[in-house]
């Protein structure tokens, strides 16, 4: 079995692969002050609940965009699994050329998402791809028809936008981000929800349409928390892949064996 770990700003996602099949996955809150032992105990309980043995894990691969937790997770892997993980970082073989001006600046999650999307969709279709990841930030990544990472765009995530509205406008309340019943809100809360939700749909459509035009026509793949919800509001998103990052990590692991 392979343990894949995606350390994001909001969540830590763990997945266990049996061959190329994702058999279990879990989501933990990202707390930067957690120790290796705390994380190890949490993973112990998750494995115990599913009847999994630590000894069955033959490899660990990890992507992290939270530097304070990267070393902590590596220590956890060594202490609780007796394995040194493959960490997606500059110098690790990914099999995807990165055409960023400074490749070291690209987040590991963006690279592994792009790898998985290209292998699942781009290679067979022989078309450019756009990968939209609805995370703490929303990222738009462009992949050429030849499988090269070209670059992309980064926007504040929808929850960041909602929090900023609450913090900067004295009379506006904090609201849950959800699809409202109608666009024309008849209360302050419903008006805010309408603006946040449909404003974000418009942002996604605008960027995807312009990026696709720049690429000469691209398929759009979405992942992350709001992917399903936003995809239902726009025909520009071709497919939704909730576990795209984990599948990309598995591919990186294979390419480094």
Q: What pLDDT was estimated at residue 165?
A: 82
Active site residues: 109
| Angle, helix 36-50 to helix 67-81, in steps of 10 degrees | 60
Average pLDDT over residues 32-53: 93
Distances 187 to 172, 184, 194 between C-alpha atoms, Å: 11, 9, 10
Q: What pLDDT was estimated at residue 155?
A: 94
The per-residue b/e assignment along 115-143, b for 16 or more CB within 10 angstroms, e otherwise, is bbbbbbbbeeeebbbbbbbbbbbbbbbbb
User: Has residue 144 got a pLDDT over 90?
Assistant: yes
| Angle, helix 108-117 to helix 244-255, in steps of 10 degrees | 90
Sheet holding 86-87, edge to edge: 21-29, 11-18, 2-7, 59-64, 86-87
User: Has residue 141 got a pLDDT over 90?
Assistant: yes
Mean pLDDT, the chain, integer = 93
Q: What pLDDT was estimated at residue 63?
A: 96
For 66, which DSSP code? -
Confidence of residue 132 (pLDDT cuts 50, 70, 90): very high
User: Has residue 3 got a pLDDT over 80?
Assistant: yes
Confidence of residue 219 (pLDDT cuts 50, 70, 90): very high
pLDDT in tens, 146-157: 999 999 999 998
Beta carbons of 25 and 15 less than 8 angstroms apart = yes
Alpha-helical segments (H) within the chain: 36-50, 67-81, 108-117, 123-125, 158-168, 188-215, 227-231, 244-255
CA separation for the pair 104, 176 (Å, rounded): 35
Predicted TM-score of the model (pTM)? 0.91
Q: What pLDDT was estimated at residue 171?
A: 80
User: Has residue 122 got a pLDDT over 90?
Assistant: no
CA separation for the pair 39, 36 (Å, rounded): 5
CA separation for the pair 169, 166 (Å, rounded): 6
Average pLDDT over residues 56-79: 95
Q: What pLDDT was estimated at residue 201?
A: 94
Average pLDDT over residues 215-230: 92
Q: What pLDDT was estimated at residue 90?
A: 84
CA separation for the pair 13, 60 (Å, rounded): 13
Share of the chain above pLDDT 70, in %: 100
With 0-12 / 13-18 / 19 or more C-beta atoms within 10 angstroms meaning exposed / middle / buried, residue 181 is exposed
For 167-187, the DSSP string reads HH-TTPPP------S-SS-SS
pLDDT in tens, 155-199: 998 888 888 888 878 788 888 888 888 899 888 889 988 989 999
Average pLDDT over residues 70-76: 96
Domains defined along the chain, listed by start: 2-87 (3.30.420.40), 103-249 (3.30.420.40)
Q: Could you tell me which residue, 143 or 179, shows the higher pLDDT?
A: 143
Paired sense of beta strands 219-224 and 11-18, if any? unpaired
User: Has residue 67 got a pLDDT over 80?
Assistant: yes
């Amino acid at each position: 079995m392979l343990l894949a770990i995606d350390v994001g700003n909001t969540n830590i996602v763990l997945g266990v692969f049996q061959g190329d099949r994702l058999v279990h996955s879990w989501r933990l809150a990202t707390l930067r002050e957690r120790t290796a032992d705390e994380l190890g105990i949490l993973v112990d309980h998750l494995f115990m609940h599913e009847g999994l043995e630590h000894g069955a894990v033959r490899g660990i691969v990890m992507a992290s965009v939270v530097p304070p937790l990267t070393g902590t997770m590596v220590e956890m892997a060594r202490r609780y699994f007796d394995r040194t993980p493959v960490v997606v970082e500059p110098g690790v073989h990914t099999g995807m050329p990165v055409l960023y001006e400074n490749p070291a600046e690209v987040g590991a999650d963006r690279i592994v998402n792009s790898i998985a999307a290209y292998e699942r969709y781009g290679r067979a279709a022989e078309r450019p791809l756009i990968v939209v990841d609805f995370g703490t930030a929303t990222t738009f990544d462009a992949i050429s028809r030849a499988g090269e990472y070209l670059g992309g765009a980064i926007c504040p995530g929808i929850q960041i936008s909602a929090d900023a509205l609450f913090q900067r406008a004295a009379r506006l309340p904090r609201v849950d981000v959800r699809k409202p019943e109608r666009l024309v809100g008849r209360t302050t809360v419903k008006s805010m929800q309408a603006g946040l939700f449909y404003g974000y749909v418009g942002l996604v459509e605008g960027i995807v349409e312009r990026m696709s035009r720049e690429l000469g026509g691209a398929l759009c793949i979405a992942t992350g928390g709001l992917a399903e919800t936003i995809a239902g509001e726009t025909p520009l998103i071709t497919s939704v892949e909730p576990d795209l990052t984990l599948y990309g990590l598995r591919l990186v692991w294979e390419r480094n064996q």
